[in-house]
């Protein structure tokens, strides 16, 4: 029903933080869901440290009594179900997500067509391979395989422009009510969490309800 | 595949708080899911006020910045999608859930076969009809239609036995890691939230993974 008008439909807004395991899981599926309905994905980086801890005043997920244990188990069974094997566990210490987030902002501004490829490459390297992207060399290793120049990426992620872009991205996400990762907005309708992707798919099928 | 051995399979443990809208939504579906897999539902009352506020140290959902607005919207679209029309909104002031919870404990102990019927009647009266079950008359009105004696229920919910049963139920839920409503445990595997019922169904179909 949506195929003939595919180009005319607005993209799906997908918000993520690289330190979010559920964001990673959803990033692997969101483009297929979007494509089924003739949509593209517009990738937006956010920072859980700002949204959850500063604005909402909550503890990090893994430090929340009872819920922390549940999340470890829930993530593990998601991985088993989907045949994913990761070097990193959700309970491992998290990297500082800001260098990778700034790199993403630079890619999105200067090589918009590679934004999705960068997200996938960064999530894969952080979660599946277990590399720490707050280390410059690990982060720059993302460049070559997706056709970016390492030195340009290095200058870009350290630039005042990418710092400002990240601040703006975090602010814009908060202004739209985004408080978690993943968080998907479809034609103004918000869907929080990887466990709402089925509902988002249903929403797209019916053009809302 | 499960039908011939239906009687042999252990029940699904379903934890709920009457003040939980998502608990209500899930209570409407859990028996059908269980029945598809030859299971019964064992109903367990818990108190979000103890689990979320005291043990986890979190704010009530609706008082959490950003998430509160999301929950109102998410609940509203769930209702539209499922054709439910409720007199009570998730943002309305909540009743004290303890009298209804004690009444449930009394029913479960003395009329175990009516535990599910009581849960449905109480949820229906609180959410669909918008009645305050912390008022004795409103709570006792649940008795007749499901075949219970009002006076016995009144004495029961005020008894020391039901108070002790409720304390034990809340403690037992915490000891099993239950921190939300609804919360379903299937053969030891926990599923938090109404948005995990599909996964619970999948888990039952595959006998886990």
Average pLDDT over residues B181-204: 95
pLDDT of residue B5: 52
pLDDT of residue A117: 98
Q: Give the C-alpha separation, A151 to A103, whole Å.
A: 12
When pLDDT is cut at 50, 70 and 90, the band that residue A5 belongs to is low
- Nearest chain A Cα distance for residue B144, angstroms: 38
ipTM exceeding 0.90? Answer: no
pLDDT of residue A60: 82
Average pLDDT over residues B153-166: 98
Identify from A48, A59, A68, A70 which residue to disrupt to test chain B contact, counting B C-beta atoms within 10 A and taking the largest count.
A70
Give the whole-number percent of chain B exceeding pLDDT 90: 87
Q: Give the C-alpha separation, B189 to B23, whole Å.
A: 18
pLDDT of residue B166: 98
pLDDT of residue A8: 75
Indicate if the pLDDT at residue B6 is higher than 70. no
**What 8-state DSSP symbol labels residue B138?**
H
Average pLDDT over residues A131-139: 98
Q: With beta carbons under 8 A apart, name residues in chain A contacting B199.
A: 195
**Contact yes or no for B59 and A64 at CB 8 A:** no
A160 three-state secondary structure: helix
Question: Token pair for residue A22?
Answer: 């559920």
- Determine how many CB atoms are found less than 10 A away from the CB of residue B86: 18
């Amino acid at each position: 029903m949506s195929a003939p008008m595919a180009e005319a439909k607005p993209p799906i807004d997908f918000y993520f933080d690289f330190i979010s395991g559920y964001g990673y899981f959803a990033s692997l599926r969101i483009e297929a869901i979007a494509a089924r309905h003739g949509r593209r994905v517009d990738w937006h980086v956010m920072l859980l440290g700002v949204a959850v801890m500063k604005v909402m005043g909550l503890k990090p997920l893994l430090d929340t009594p009872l819920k922390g244990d549940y999340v470890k188990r829930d993530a593990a069974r998601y991985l088993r179900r989907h045949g994913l094997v990761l070097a990193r566990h959700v309970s491992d210490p998290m990297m500082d997500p800001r260098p990778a987030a700034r790199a993403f902002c630079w890619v999105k501004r200067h090589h918009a067509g590679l934004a999705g490829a960068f997200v996938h490459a960064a999530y894969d390297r952080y979660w599946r391979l277990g590399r720490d992207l707050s280390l410059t060399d690990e982060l720059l290793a993302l460049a070559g395989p997706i056709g970016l120049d390492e030195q340009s990426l290095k200058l870009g992620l350290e630039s005042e422009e990418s710092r400002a872009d990240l601040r703006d991205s975090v602010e814009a996400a908060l202004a739209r009510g985004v408080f978690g990762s993943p968080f998907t907005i479809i034609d103004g309708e918000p869907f929080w969490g990887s466990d709402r992707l089925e509902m988002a798919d249903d929403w797209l099928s019916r053009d809302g309800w």
